[in-house]
Amino acid sequence: MPRIKKIRLCDSVIEAVKEMIAEEGFKPGDKFYSENELTKQLGVSRSSIREAVKILETTGFVCVRQGKGIFITDRQGLRFEEFTGWLKNNEQAIRDNFEVRMILESKVARYAAAKADTDDICRLQEAHTAFIKYARENDTERAIVCDGRFHRRLAAATKNETLHVLMKAITTKLPTGWISSLYTPGRMEKTINEHSDIVAAVKKGDAAGAENAMMRHLLNAVHDISCHIEAEQVKPEEGAG
């Protein structure tokens, strides 16, 4: 694995660890690399690894067991009832997350379509293909990782470092939107089609088309999440009588 640049180190380490989890076949409950092993593989200090692991533990990607090591969390095993309860408890945070993303990512898609080169398009397509693979395997956790990668690579294609940094922050430190969307029934298959529209527009250099495709993608996600919450809220009333 290539060593990562020592700029915005924590974000770089977080992204690298997420990719290792997705690409190296780690499953929920598996023991992950030790801090020493991560230090050697990524070529960064142990303090940077500890900071990244702390954030990954807070956002639910790993758990640290004292004296035993770092383990992959069982988000893939999240029960439907638990997810529905989590949605209800985090509804406002989810709406806030998507509002920010609609403001930011619609323009990200527009600029990406205008500025993406051949390498950017290949990297975007690669992330999309990986997402399709895990979505079709119903591997939600790895699909979430690949979804975040897709949006980060789209931001990288804008050639605007500020946009890229903002997208890294959103995908690594505010994963609420990705969790809420891809665990919602039916959203993974819809996301495949919506991402395909975005990729197609970027390939054609269609800035307006890419912006519209991204906005549709995010609006559809919010709509489906809201419908799911509403449907679950009326169930007890329907069964009461």
For 61-176, list the strands marked E by DSSP.
62-65, 69-72
CA distances from 209 to 24, 102, 122 (A): 35, 15, 19
Crossing angle of the two packed helices 80-89 and 91-115, in degrees rounded to 10: 90
CA distances from 18 to 55, 78, 100, 137, 192 (A): 12, 19, 23, 19, 20
Nearest Cα to 225, choosing from 83, 102, 130?
A: 83
**Which helix or strand (DSSP H or E) is residue 7 part of?**
none
For the full predicted model, state whether its pTM sits above 0.75: no
When pLDDT is cut at 50, 70 and 90, the band that residue 6 belongs to is very low
Which domains are assigned to the chain? 6-72 (1.10.10.10), 78-232 (1.20.120.530)
What tens digit of pLDDT does each residue of 201-237 get? 999 999 999 999 999 999 999 898 888 777 766 555 4
The percent of residues above 70 in pLDDT, for the chain, comes to: 81
When pLDDT is cut at 50, 70 and 90, the band that residue 94 belongs to is confident
Whole-number Å distance between alpha carbons of 71 and 116: 37
Residue holding tokens 């699909």?
143
pLDDT value of position 174:
61
pLDDT value of position 232:
67
pLDDT value of position 141:
74
Q: Are 141 and 25 in contact (CB under 8 A)?
A: no
Averaged confidence pLDDT in the chain: 83
What tens digit of pLDDT does each residue of 125-171 get? 999 999 999 899 888 877 888 888 899 999 999 999 998 888 877 77
DSSP state of 110: H
- What is the full DSSP assignment across 24-83? TT--TT-B---HHHHHHHHT--HHHHHHHHHHHHHTTSEEEETTTEEEE--GGG--HHHH
Average pLDDT over residues 29-48: 92
